[in-house]
């Protein structure tokens, strides 16, 4: 009958320690050191916090020390940069036989039964593989958790018999589960929250100070544009009125000039007539005896051409 057991290949796991390293006092770091710390936790010698601190310190030192390298603490399921262990969920050691060494010792059916005749329970009504106590944990059995019984078949004097033989498993799985906090993620969240607060402050300042100023400035610009447009209209009206007044003034001056020139021509003609009359009178001898009368006639003729006050 086959024996259903845990995978027994140390080369296929990243969380194993040899029993020799586990119980050798010279190995205080690496896999051996971690196994010892788990035993101390189970036996009440240290706390979960102390185990967590030991693991984090070991991670920081890249698992370099006098114990075998424990790759299981790295990678996606282990610790990473900026992570802190906040709780230990499970910490135990489970014994197994490493089939990398010899999967069929003495020609036995598996590494747990080193008997070419096999191992059996001896109970024909309740048959089983005849392997007892294998793959137990330290929390179940304590320091002899790697000991197990193989009920091996033998033959003596032609008579078959079964014998319970003690064997010791040579490796232990490190069953370790812990909760971590990603400090980098918290730092990113804090940075994000700080940015949110800065944006909220910026928004508040924008809405409280900038937008009212922009609105007021826009209103002032609109008012200025309206006033400027009104001023342009008034300016055009004033220019038109001034041009009209100028044109009217020029026309009035031109009208007065024409009237004045006409009157001056008329006065000149009257004066010419008066002087002609006086000249004729002198020629006729009339004015020689009475200069006073002749002068009066000339002045009377000139007075007829005086300018009209307008």
Neighbours of 277 (CB within 10 A): 14
**Residue 96 scores a pLDDT above 90:** yes
Instruction: Specify the higher pLDDT residue, 232 or 136.
Output: 136
Range of lowest pLDDT (56-60, 86-90, 137-141, 256-260): 256-260
**Residue 301 scores a pLDDT above 70:** no
Residue 282 lies in a domain: no
Range of lowest pLDDT (106-120, 121-135, 201-215): 201-215
pLDDT digits over 71-83, tens only? 667 666 667 777 8
Residue 9 lies in a domain: no
**Residue 303 scores a pLDDT above 80:** no
Paired tokens of 79: 């610790």
Burial class (CB in 10 A: 0-12, 13-18, 19+), 91: buried
Section 255-270 average pLDDT? 78
Which residues sit opposite 162 in a β-bridge? 153
Q: For position 277, what pLDDT does the model report? A: 74
Is residue 108 within 8 Å of 131, Cβ to Cβ? no
**Angle value at C-alpha 49, between 43 and 52, nearest 5 degrees:** 95
d(CA 182, CA 147): 40
Q: For position 106, what pLDDT does the model report? A: 73
The 3 state secondary structure assigned to the chain is CCCCCCCCCHHHCCCEEEHHHHCCCCCCCHHHHHHHHHHHHHCCCCCHHHHHHHHHHHHHCCCCCCCCCCHHHCCCCCCCCCEEEEEEEEEEEEEECCCCCCCCHHHCCECCECCCCCECCCCCCCCCCCEECCCCEHHHHHHHCCEEEEEEEEEECCEEEEEEEEEECCEEEEEEEEEEEEHHHHHHHHHHHHHHHHHHHHHHHHHHHHHHHHHHHHHHHHHHHHHHHHHHHHHHHHHHHHHHHHHHHHHHHHHHHHHHHHHHHHHHHHHHHHHHHHHHHHHCCHHHHCHHHHHHHHHHHHHCCCCCCC
Instruction: Specify the higher pLDDT residue, 177 or 8.
Output: 177
Instruction: Specify the higher pLDDT residue, 21 or 182.
Output: 21
d(CA 21, CA 236): 107
pTM: 0.57
Burial 233-247 (b: 16+ CB within 10 A, else e): eeeeeeeeeeeeeee
Residue 164 lies in a domain: yes
**Residue 95 scores a pLDDT above 90:** yes
Section 239-267 average pLDDT? 80
pLDDT band at 33 (very low <50, low <70, confident <90, very high): very high
**Residue 215 scores a pLDDT above 80:** yes
The parent domain of residue 140 ranges over: 99-169
Neighbours of 139 (CB within 10 A): 18
Residue 121 lies in a domain: yes
Is residue 270 within 8 Å of 302, Cβ to Cβ? yes
Residue 229 lies in a domain: no
pLDDT digits over 274-295, tens only? 777 777 776 666 555 566 666 6
Section 166-178 average pLDDT? 93
How remote is the C-alpha of 272 from its chain's centroid? Answer: 109
**Residue 181 scores a pLDDT above 60:** yes
Q: For position 188, what pLDDT does the model report? A: 57
pLDDT digits over 221-232, tens only? 888 888 888 888
Range of lowest pLDDT (6-10, 12-16, 51-55, 210-214): 6-10
Residue 119 lies in a domain: yes
Paired tokens of 22: 């586990």
Residue 118 lies in a domain: yes
Q: How many domains are contained in the chain?
A: 1
pLDDT band at 1 (very low <50, low <70, confident <90, very high): very low
**Residue 187 scores a pLDDT above 60:** no
Given phi > 0 = left and psi -120 to 50 = alpha, else beta, which region is 116? alpha
**Residue 153 scores a pLDDT above 80:** yes
Residue 190 to residues 79, 81, 180, 272: CA-CA distances in angstroms?
22, 18, 18, 117
Residue 253 lies in a domain: no
Strands laid side by side in the 147-156 sheet: 131-132, 147-156, 159-168
């Amino acid at each position: 009958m086959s024996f259903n057991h845990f995978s027994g290949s140390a080369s296929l796991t990243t969380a194993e320690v040899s029993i020799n390293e586990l119980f050798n006092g010279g190995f205080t770091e690496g896999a051996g050191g971690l196994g010892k710390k788990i035993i101390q936790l189970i036996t009440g010698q240290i706390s979960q916090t102390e185990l967590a601190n030991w693991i984090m310190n070991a991670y920081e030192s890249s698992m370099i020390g006098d114990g075998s390298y424990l790759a299981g603490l790295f990678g996606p399921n282990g610790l990473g940069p900026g992570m802190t262990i906040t709780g230990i969920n499970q910490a135990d050691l489970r014994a197994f036989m490493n089939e990398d060494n010899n999967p069929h010792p003495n020609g036995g059916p598996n590494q747990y039964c080193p008997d070419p005749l096999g191992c059996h329970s001896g109970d024909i009504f309740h048959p089983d593989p005849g392997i007892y106590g294998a793959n137990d944990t330290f929390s179940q059995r304590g320091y002899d958790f790697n000991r197990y019984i193989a009920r091996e078949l033998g033959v003596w004097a032609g008579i078959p018999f079964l014998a319970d033989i003690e064997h010791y498993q040579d490796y232990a799985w490190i069953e370790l589960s812990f909760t971590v906090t990603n400090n980098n993620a918290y730092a990113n969240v804090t940075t994000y929250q700080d940015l949110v607060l800065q944006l909220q402050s910026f928004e508040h300042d924008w809405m409280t100070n900038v937008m009212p100023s922009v609105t007021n400035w826009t209103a002032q610009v609109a008012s200025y544009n309206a006033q400027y447009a009104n001023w342009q209209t008034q300016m055009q009206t004033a220019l038109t009125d001034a041009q009209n007044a100028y044109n009217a003034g020029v026309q009035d001056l031109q009208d007065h000039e024409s009237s004045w020139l006409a009157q001056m021509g008329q006065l000149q003609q009257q004066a010419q007539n008066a002087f002609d009359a006086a000249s004729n009178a002198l020629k006729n001898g009339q004015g020689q005896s009475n200069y006073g009368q002749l002068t009066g006639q000339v002045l009377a003729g000139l007075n007829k051409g005086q300018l009209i006050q307008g």
